[in-house]
Amino acid sequence: MSDNNVVWRGELFKKLLFEGLDERMDELAEAIADTAKSLAPVDTGALRESIEWIKEGDERFIGAGVPYAAYVEYGTSTTQARPFLRPAVLAAIQAARAIFSKEIM
């Protein structure tokens, strides 16, 4: 091979990408839950305190456990939406870039 060739090291890339993936996914779920808690409107604090994430197999689920969480997130015909989960997920895009680049950089 000459010095001008580009070499693809696919196995190394896969190792860097998937090594520690489970832990990085946990970090990302935690970041989303923390952001959602910081964005949740507070009256009694029950909504904020009910926000949590769980892991089932390879999936992470983030949500709020109070029955009125969807009404706060999306609003109703009489109350304005005060989203906290959707903005947390959008903010997680930046967190994901940082978390997933740890092993590669």
Cβ neighbours, 10 Å, residue 63: 15
Q: How many domains does the chain have?
A: 1
What is the domain range of residue 71? 21-101
Q: Is residue 12 part of a domain?
A: no
Give φ, ψ of 57 to 5 degrees: 65, -125
- pLDDT, one tens digit per residue, over 53-99 is 999 998 999 999 999 999 999 999 999 999 999 999 999 887 777 76
Would residue 11 count as lying in a domain?
no
The reply to whether 5 falls in a domain is no
Q: For the whole model, what pTM was predicted?
A: 0.75
Identify the residue whose tokens are 């839950």: 33
For 51, counting Cβ atoms within 10 Å of its Cβ (0-12 exposed, 13-18 middle, 19+ buried), the class is buried
**In a domain? residue 6:** no
Asked, for residue 78, whether it belongs to a domain, the answer is yes
The answer to whether residue 85 is domain-embedded is yes
What's the one-letter identity of residue 66? V
For the segment 10-28, what is each residue's pLDDT rounded down to a tens digit? 777 777 777 778 888 898 8
